[in-house]
Amino acid sequence: MRQHVNPLSQFFQRPLSLPSKSILFSNSHYPIHIDIGSAKGEFLIELASKYPKWNFVGLEIRESLVSASERKRKKLELNNLKFLFCNVNVSLHEWLSDLDYGQLKRVTIQFPDPWFKRKHFKRRVLKISLLNSIARFMGKDGELFIQSDIFQLIESMTNVIDHSNYFDRKDLDGFKLINKNPYDAYTDRELFALKKNLKIYRAMYIRNSSLFIN
């Protein structure tokens, strides 16, 4: 069961000042992977355990899930991982501006809230302003990975990314999507979808280094 919150409500429109990378991580120079909508945190917990020379940031709009994920992270003593509460469309740009150029290597957006009704499409997380912020601070050959079990949503997301021209779709052949999660780590929703034999739609993008944003 998805727990929806309205990201456009007044409460979630308040900008939050997120802790700087030097406060979050002792090795703040490591490459960074951001997971937008980290939910229960299982995906990043698995990656942070496997890759100690990367820093991982999970961003989630549901504060209760952030608290639960942080408890698990602390219990496992994963110091290269941090879960933060925020609305990424309001608070992420400023945090990204604090990074060293090229330090942001990966961004993942997995199984975001679909907001099926047309009047609610504006609540979907991937907006052109967010994509511009990611592209502006992501280094050459940085990765943007998206996946969903809802075709209409992945179609909408790929349209936003494709029309931006800041990213090139990997393994693209018409509307071909990649068949496998490339990170060998799974969100709680992905495991549920696999167990139920639901179709999962995935796309990997690589930052187009020839295009720059002022």
pLDDT by residue (tens digit) across 165-190?
899 988 655 556 788 899 989 999 99
**Mean predicted confidence (pLDDT) in 153-162:** 94
Domain 30-207 coded CATH 3.60.20.40: no
- What per-residue confidence (pLDDT) applies to 15? 73
Close Cβ partners of 155 (under 8 Å, ≥ 6 residues apart)? none
Instruction: Give me the catalytic one of 35, 100, 113, 173.
Output: 113
| Predicted confidence (pLDDT) per residue in 83-112, tens digit | 999 999 888 999 999 999 889 999 999 999
Local confidence band at 69 (pLDDT 50, 70, 90 cut-offs): very high
Residue 45: exposed, middle, or buried by beta-carbon count in 10 A (0-12, 13-18, 19+)? buried
- Whether 188 sits among the annotated catalytic residues: the reply is no
- The residues spanned by each domain of the chain are 30-207
| Predicted confidence (pLDDT) per residue in 115-153, tens digit | 445 665 566 778 999 999 999 999 888 999 999 999 999
- What per-residue confidence (pLDDT) applies to 107? 98
Is the whole model's pTM more than 0.85, yes or no? Answer: yes
DSSP assignment letter at 35: E
Average pLDDT in the chain = 88
Contacts of range 21-27, beta carbons closer than 8 Å, 24 or more positions apart: 21/55, 21/98, 21/99, 21/103, 24/55, 24/57, 24/82, 25/55, 25/79, 25/80, 25/82, 26/79, 27/53, 27/55, 27/80
